[in-house]
Amino acid sequence: MAQPGELGDFLKSRRARLQPEDVGTRSFGARRRVPGLRREELAQLAGVSVAYYVRLEQGNADNVSDGILDSISRVLKLDHDEHAHLHRLAHPPRREPVQPPARLRAPLQHLLDSVTFAPAYIVGHYTNVVAWNRLTSAIFVDLAEVEPEERTWTHQIHLNADYRERLGDNWETVARRNVAYLRFRSGEDPGDPRLTSLISTMRERSDEFRELWSEHLVNDVTSGEARIHHPEVGQLVLPFEALHLPRDAELSRLMMYAAEPGSPSERALRTLAETSTHRSSADLHTP
């Protein structure tokens, strides 16, 4: 069964960002009381009746075919992640048993600690940081000093003023990316109690998170660029890649960063690697 509110809200949000000229059609009437593509216009372009489309926005997706969803996705100009999200909202995946607490195999921590000139860490399915190397704490947040229940990037991005200051003008980009990922995850695993609790907490504690959540941003995080203004070494520009860990179902991915060879950022990383006294996750368990 579809997620009624989620499906309707997502479709409405994507209609609102389009105008008739965006999809090569004429407007129905001269005056438009609300911004965006009208239901009638979308239905016509997607090849379905208005009544049928209205039922979809009301959350009634029983027996809707993949072909119709694909057609609606095409008209709404959804990207790859949004397209997949629409299908998951209409046909939610079956719930698997709740994942056990994330466990870290020793070789993974050894791998992290072997990365000495760039930050690297492992996250679970809730943006929770399960393990990290020393440069992660030196550059982003001193995770060893964060309470375990708030050791998530979601908490740090939206509630940690010091980290926000390091992000500077790039904070909004990072915040939007984080919210879009949580929406992506909520489609992958609807009703997950831990994910639902995290989102609910952020909506209560952060006005900005709540506003971004209402935009229905959807995107996985597979690669990108971190920009950090570090108090000791200045501006850092660090491209990153997300690597999946197929053997570890309770873990989401390994995040690896690297500065451009010969760049000021690379030199800054080496300086931090040689001078920082920050701890990795392995140090927390060392007597």
**DSSP secondary structure of 95-127:** PPPPPPPP---HHHHHHHHH--SS-EEEEETTS
The secondary structure of residue 47, as a DSSP letter, is: T
pTM above 0.85, yes or no: yes
Classified as helix, coil or strand, 147 is coil
Burial 222-233 (b: 16+ CB within 10 A, else e): eeeebbbebeeb
The secondary structure of residue 261, as a DSSP letter, is: T
Are the beta carbons of 191 and 127 closer than 8 angstroms?
no
Residues (pLDDT < 70) of the chain are: 1-4, 25-34, 95-101, 286-287
The type of residue at 28 is F
pLDDT per residue as tens digits for the range 120-168: 999 999 999 999 999 999 999 999 999 999 999 999 999 999 999 999 9
pLDDT at 27: 58
pLDDT at 1: 44
pLDDT per residue as tens digits for the range 193-227: 999 999 999 999 999 999 999 999 999 999 999 99
Which residues, other chains included, contact 32 with Cβ-Cβ below 8 Å and sequence gap of 6+?
38
pLDDT at 99: 60
